[in-house]
Amino acid sequence: MKNNSESIETRRPKVLFFDVNETLLDLTPMKKRVGEVLEGKEEVLSLWFTTMLHYSLVTSASGHYKPFGHIGAAALQMVAANNNITISEEKARKIIAESMQNLPPHPEVKEALTQLKKEGYKLVAFTNSSNEGLKKQFENAELTAYFDERLSVEDTGKFKPFTDTYAWGAHKMGVKLEECMLIAAHGWDVAGALWAGWRAAFISRPGQQIFPLAPKTEIVATNLKKVADILVTYK
């Protein structure tokens, strides 16, 4: 659905930037793998994921950079330790790398991307994953051909949702901030984009919510196809 607001613009953004993990790719297989490692405690996947995001921000805020997969592995070790499970750094990194690189796209994703490309939109992947990780994710999910560009925050050294990172993405694509739209299934990512001067569309995947203190986003829908159906009506 589109939010009802007189201020909503229905002109086409010049570039659509897509978050990858959970927005395009289904985390269910990773949930199963992490659950196996944590001795059947699949319910802690969300805690692991939020811990990974938390420490990616800690890393950036401290002026450092570590690959997202390495932070994910460290977060897995931390969550495991809180459940009295010991995982070596090597094993944790192997689990995260293998799991994240073999995620399938959500069922509606390819149809939606095809629709948007047919309508002339420029599609850009914009992720906290590393360049190499993103390349393998897209190859394994067969998404490479749908995108005009793949951008990883690895090249700027700051994770989303730092404002500098969105500004870097816009600069990289040669467009103004207001000409960018982020499509994401994470309230923190949408909030970061909006505060940086971008437009945004939120996909309300199960368990995901918009951050109530962020500016209102113009598109809210339950899947990418519904977002695409709205975007093709823009002039």
Q: Which of 143, 111, 118 is nearest to 21 (CA)?
A: 143
- Predicted TM-score (pTM) above 0.95: no
Q: Which two tokens stand for residue 13?
A: 């953004």
What is the per-residue pLDDT across 96-143, written as a single tens digit (0 to 9) for each?
999 999 999 999 999 999 999 999 999 999 999 999 999 999 999 999
Rounded Cα gap, residues 190 and 196, in angstroms? 10
* DSSP assigned state of 22: T
CATH 1.10.150.240 correct for 28-100: yes
Q: Check if the beta carbon of residue 1 is closer than 8 Å to that of residue 210.
A: no
Rounded Cα gap, residues 72 and 48, in angstroms? 8
Residue with the two structure tokens 């989303």 = 160
Q: Check if the beta carbon of residue 92 is closer than 8 Å to that of residue 76.
A: yes
Instruction: Region of 27 please: left (phi>0), alpha (psi -120 to 50) or beta.
Output: alpha
Distances (CA, A) of 62 to 56, 130, 131, 157, 189: 10, 19, 22, 11, 19
Q: Which of 175, 174, 229 is nearest to 199 (CA)?
A: 175
Q: Check if the beta carbon of residue 7 is closer than 8 Å to that of residue 224.
A: no
Q: Is the pLDDT of residue 5 over 80?
A: no
Q: Which two tokens stand for residue 194?
A: 């909006």
Which CATH code for domain 15-26+104-231?
3.40.50.1000
Of the listed ranges 3-17, 116-130, 184-198, the least confidently predicted one is: 3-17
What is the per-residue pLDDT across 26-76, written as a single tens digit (0 to 9) for each?
988 888 888 888 887 767 777 888 899 999 999 999 999 999 999 999 999
* Domain regions of the chain by residue span: 15-26+104-231, 28-100
Q: Which of 67, 95, 106, 69 is nearest to 204 (CA)?
A: 106
